[in-house]
Structure 1
Amino acid sequence: MSDLKDPRVLFAAERTLLAWNRTSLSLIAFGFIVERAGLLMEAIAPDSVHAAQVALTFWVGIFFIALGCFASAFSARQYSIVLRTLQPVEFPPGYAARWGLAVNSIIAILGLFLIIILIIGHIR
């Protein structure tokens, strides 16, 4: 529990959450690019690409997307824990501190949907 009674503690926690938000979005985007790289290689030079290369880029991309989802969900959990330790005086009047938590949770859910869509598309 914080004894500082200073709203800067809240804002520092929120900046950390937003940094993890950017990191998770970057991991998800990078994973999507890696996942599509196999298809691009296959389209550009179909004779020189092996099926194992396409499969490898697919699963590595899925791993990066999953890592981004995990980072987003875990950072939302950590931020929620920090919010519970703060006293009411540390929240500015009318400040909605839970919006960042909601955004990170939604990003994690949408990332999982992306994984499902890509796996279903890969199976077909």
Structure 2
Amino acid sequence: MSNNTPSTNTELAKERNRAAAERTLMAWIRTCLSLISFGFGVDRIVTTLQKDYMDDSLYITRILGLSFIGIGTCAIFLAAFEHRQELRHIQHENYRYKSRSSLAFVVAISIFVTGIFAFVGIVIKSSGS
């Protein structure tokens, strides 16, 4: 076997990594759809309540819903971009593991910050009434 011919083991390992990248992207799609759906549901409920009761006190809750939609939308874009980068990385002949930042960590921090803002906003709103 010449040095230019890739080994079967190497090619099978690349295929396993590609399949793992596909499963990871599908998991991100499910997560992002859940975030977007939850945010959309919260926004629709707030919009309906504001129409029925003409109450502007639900503004913070609406921002919370829109924040979840924004986080989900940004995360799906970043997941697709990261997936594309991973596929390109696997294609190279000298494929090596590269440590990089975690998209899951970034999304977790975004949801944490959104949750803190929602918590503080609700506490301030309820103590003011």
User: Could you say which TM-score interval applies, normalised by the shorter chain?
Assistant: 0.5 to 0.7
Deviation sequence 1:10-30 (CA, Å, 0-9, x none) = 000000000001111111111
Higher RCO by CA contacts (8 Å cutoff, separation 6 or greater)? 1
Percent identity, aligned pairs only, is: 36
Aligned to 1:81: 85
Q: Provide the aligned C-alpha RMSD in A.
A: 2.2
1:51 and 1:83 map into 2 onto residues whose CA distance is 48
Instruction: List, as ranges, runs of 4+ consecutive aligned residues in structure 1 with deviation greater than 3 Å.
Output: none
Aligned residues: 83
Q: Which runs of 5+ in 2 are unaligned?
A: 1-8, 94-129
Cα offset, 1:36, TM superposition: 1.2
TM-score normalised by L of structure 2: 0.57
Q: 2:56 aligns with which of 51, 58, 61?
A: 51
TM-score, L = length of structure 1: 0.59
Report the equivalent of 1:36.
Answer: 44
Q: Which residue among 10, 13, 22 is the counterpart of 1:14? A: 22
Alignment match of 2:68 (pick from 57, 64, 89): 64
Give the one of 20, 28, 32 matched to 1:24.
32
